[in-house]
Structure 1
């Protein structure tokens, strides 16, 4: 009971915001109409139940007029029920897509807000495979919440609607045994209730493990799919290393876990299906067995038997709602748990960024990026990089050097505001535009124009200007392909991708440009030409580079090192001015 109440509390927390959102009136209106239709459907079932008694009595009495009249009544009721079924499905689907749209927007907003997705990865908590959470889990949550909710409502209303019918039928068709009438008020109702309680208890006992098994199945399926995508995305490196046998073996191991859990699901589902199938079949004959003695004794007519059969079935089905939907409920609870974990991960990552004890990005008092007292740590708390009273002065180009693994890239991430682990502050001038170019730039799938101007909108930069910067960075052959859609990270060499990254910088003209080995895949003459191009086209930009080549010294006015001091590396310790070329100096 405690688990059920906890699940319902989570469902309410996930679902309620939609019905308080900007789309609340449409959502509430659709839900209200769906509820009214469910009530009307139950009303139609009651009318059909009453009609069935009259119809079969007319058959038994060979009453042609009554038979003909009841056929007309049936056509009217049936037409109404068909119409209700059509609009119940249509409006339910309409509400589903609106609710799903809101939830998808809501989760994407939390996940992709201010590098929250990156911090969630760093934490390595319960947000495995967020793509599945936002696509599959949201879709299934909306579908199953509405299905289970309306099904439960239908069952409750059906119980109360047929309760009196079944009670009255118990009086009209008394329990007859061994030639005597036994007086047990509402015996048909009590029989249905006892049968449903028995079935529910056994179903829960047999099917309880399905909740954890469904949760594990979704996680294992997502893990297998994610690794398939990784193989596809890294096909070139795998092919060059002849790594296909290794990847195949790794994928088969992960699929083996999928299969193992699936076999456990099969076994448990087989047991549950065996019981629920037997339970459902037995429920067909139990009311007939109870009424048959009274019928053969001439106490009731055939219409009463058929009405009793249907009424007992409706009440028993409603009371057995838990039995009939147990598998769906188990799957639904696992989905709720996954979305709850996703929400918790989003909130934890946001809390981490807002924690005053973590690295904070604050406005600078003057026009330079300052690191007054900064300590950058690893996610496990180990110190990595320290900086004391250091600044990147406007108009000055700085080369940051240090051994591999000393924390140069992590320092850039802290300056960008996406690395919260540590203490102190990064002071950035108000309204300053920062751009970080990593060694492997991100190029979204789509047109080349969109890839170059990312993260800006295509309309911000006309095609002529984009062609000009492509030619300037040494990619004139791509100028004619701006409207071509492709996966550019796979289509282009790493050197070409780095040139596109620099073209992006020329278009956006940032105030501070951080280059994290952003030209490492280019030959030295090409690298030199591009640094001169940056100095010419972005004279206002402050350039900060990470690199290992000594030839980079000529394009920076200052060189600073990350020097090991005990367990950490200190920025600027032993720093020295660089000898910049006249054309590159500012």
Structure 2
């Protein structure tokens, strides 16, 4: 699943985590010194103004973005020479770093927007409280400021989505040809064709989605936790608990931990049922495919029994999802009111302005969503576990240390194969 696409996965992924830790430590230890000699901030940075006192491209932030980009791509260089999988280097290594870089900048934009919302809603409160105290030019100026950040960001997100689609297809291709190079060992395994054709696609899509969301959650916590901790000083007290340092951080942590434990408890049977569901589906599909060419196959009695097996598993799955969804939707809906309850005493005493309320509410939502990543992604994780089990059982029949056949996915081999083979013409439409 991974070794077909990534260079030496058992070393690559731990090395990536270690590299991030080292780079973060170096940024705080020697970053200010390096900034004096290497930063492009003095040339590219935007000076603060009254309309935008904290610009997205301030001199210090330009240095931060420059440091993230350079250290990210420096990590790629050794893997071109080490790992033994140069075939997919530009997609698996450089592509992964590019996706993570875009996720990081999107989190930075969210943090900048959090500050902007505070200023903007305070401006609205001032305009509503004291008529004609805010000019239309100043109001529209705030909107123009945010547009200068969001329009390029939207463009980058669209291009990144296009890039991710190609990234996933390359990963699927790498897995497919890896398995096909060992097809003689795999062809007699139950549902072999489905595992190569369908499970590879599902695995790549789910892993990329979950990994990107997980990385975004970690980055969001790194950026928003200090913000929320600082904003918590404006919360005079919590209901039932009184004054607590960093109160909203603890509320978000307890709320998300409760939801994660709750959903894990009520949904612990779902991965096994999903895994078994793929087996009964594959059994019926296989019989129907045989029935297309063999009149003695796919008879009513056999088909009825295979369908009944599939029906029983689906009904068990539905019953378990009933309990799971009751807990899931109750928790997700209830969690929307937790920040309002936590800020209740501060709201009724007038300790918060409208802009500050928006800042606190948005920062709390970002932190809580990151904390409850597992709770929010539980149904996706269930699907991933079932697909992983199928592919893992599939790979158990491949000798350890096996690599893809040298010519199986070589472009020159494929070109000569396409030249020698002719595809059957499509049947005319009736």
Trace 1:289-438 onto structure 2 (pairs within 5 A): 289-347=341-399
In the alignment, is the contact (CA less than 8 A) between 2:238 and 2:244 conserved in 1? no
Q: Which residue of 2 aligns with 1:159?
A: 221
The Cα of 1:73 is off from its aligned counterpart by 2.1
The Cα of 1:161 is off from its aligned counterpart by 1.1
2:253 matches 1:193: yes
In the alignment, is the contact (CA less than 8 A) between 2:236 and 2:345 conserved in 1? no
Change in Cα spacing, 1:279 to 1:459, as seen in structure 2 (3 Å) is closer
Change in Cα spacing, 1:145 to 1:177, as seen in structure 2 (3 Å) is closer
Q: Deviations over 1:129-184 (max 9, x none)?
A: 11011011100111111111111001111112110111111102322669xx9431
Q: Distance in 2 between matches of 1:457 and 1:164?
A: 58
The Cα of 1:294 is off from its aligned counterpart by 1.2
2:177 matches 1:105: yes
Q: Distance in 2 between matches of 1:198 and 1:214?
A: 25
Aligned to 1:23, which of 85, 88, 99? Answer: 88
Q: Which residue of 2 aligns with 1:258?
A: 310
Trace 1:434-513 onto structure 2 (pairs within 5 A): none
Look up the SS of the partner of 2:336 in the other structure: helix
Aligned to 2:125, which of 51, 60, 63? Answer: 60
2:270 matches 1:210: yes
In the alignment, is the contact (CA less than 8 A) between 1:18 and 1:103 conserved in 2? no
Q: Distance in 2 between matches of 1:61 and 1:69?
A: 16
Q: Deviations over 1:413-472 (max 9, x none)?
A: xxxxxxxxxxxxxxxxxxxxxxxxxxxxxxxxxxxxxxxxxxx979779xxxxxxxxxxx
2:93 matches 1:41: no
In the alignment, is the contact (CA less than 8 A) between 1:211 and 1:334 conserved in 2? yes
Q: CA RMSD in A?
A: 2.8
2:335 matches 1:283: yes
The Cα of 1:251 is off from its aligned counterpart by 0.7
In our comparison, the structure showing a higher alpha carbon Rg is 1
Q: Distance in 2 between matches of 1:298 and 1:486?
A: 72
Unmatched runs of 5 consecutive residues or more in structure 2:
10-82, 128-133, 403-415
Look up the SS of the partner of 2:352 in the other structure: coil
Look up the SS of the partner of 2:244 in the other structure: coil
Change in Cα spacing, 1:225 to 1:159, as seen in structure 2 (3 Å) is same
Name the structure, 1 or 2, with higher relative contact order (CA <8 Å, separation 6+). Answer: 2
Q: Distance in 1 between matches of 2:418 and 2:331?
A: 62
Change in Cα spacing, 1:218 to 1:17, as seen in structure 2 (3 Å) is farther
In the alignment, is the contact (CA less than 8 A) between 1:288 and 1:305 conserved in 2? no
In the alignment, is the contact (CA less than 8 A) between 2:239 and 2:344 conserved in 1? no
Q: Which residue of 2 aligns with 1:95?
A: 167
Change in Cα spacing, 1:460 to 1:37, as seen in structure 2 (3 Å) is closer
In the alignment, is the contact (CA less than 8 A) between 2:5 and 2:88 conserved in 1? no
Unmatched runs of 5 consecutive residues or more in structure 1:
1-10, 122-126, 239-243, 351-455, 462-481, 488-586
Q: Deviations over 1:480-501 (max 9, x none)?
A: xx997599xxxxxxxxxxxxxx
Q: Which residue of 1 aligns with 2:21?
A: none
Aligned to 2:283, which of 223, 236, 250? Answer: 223
Q: Deviations over 1:70-111 (max 9, x none)?
A: 211222232133123212211111111111111111110011
Q: Which residue of 1 aligns with 2:150?
A: 78
In the alignment, is the contact (CA less than 8 A) between 2:6 and 2:88 conserved in 1? no
Higher strand share: 1
In the alignment, is the contact (CA less than 8 A) between 1:38 and 1:150 conserved in 2? yes
In the alignment, is the contact (CA less than 8 A) between 1:141 and 1:336 conserved in 2? yes
Change in Cα spacing, 1:89 to 1:81, as seen in structure 2 (3 Å) is same
In the alignment, is the contact (CA less than 8 A) between 1:216 and 1:261 conserved in 2? yes
The Cα of 1:209 is off from its aligned counterpart by 0.8
The Cα of 1:13 is off from its aligned counterpart by 5.3
In the alignment, is the contact (CA less than 8 A) between 2:118 and 2:358 conserved in 1? yes
Q: Deviations over 1:272-305 (max 9, x none)?
A: 2222212121222211222132122121101111
Q: Deviations over 1:493-538 (max 9, x none)?
A: xxxxxxxxxxxxxxxxxxxxxxxxxxxxxxxxxxxxxxxxxxxxxx
In the alignment, is the contact (CA less than 8 A) between 1:295 and 1:302 conserved in 2? no
Q: Deviations over 1:304-326 (max 9, x none)?
A: 11211111111111111101111
The Cα of 1:40 is off from its aligned counterpart by 0.9
Aligned to 2:204, which of 142, 145, 161? Answer: 142
In the alignment, is the contact (CA less than 8 A) between 2:284 and 2:303 conserved in 1? yes
Change in Cα spacing, 1:486 to 1:165, as seen in structure 2 (3 Å) is closer
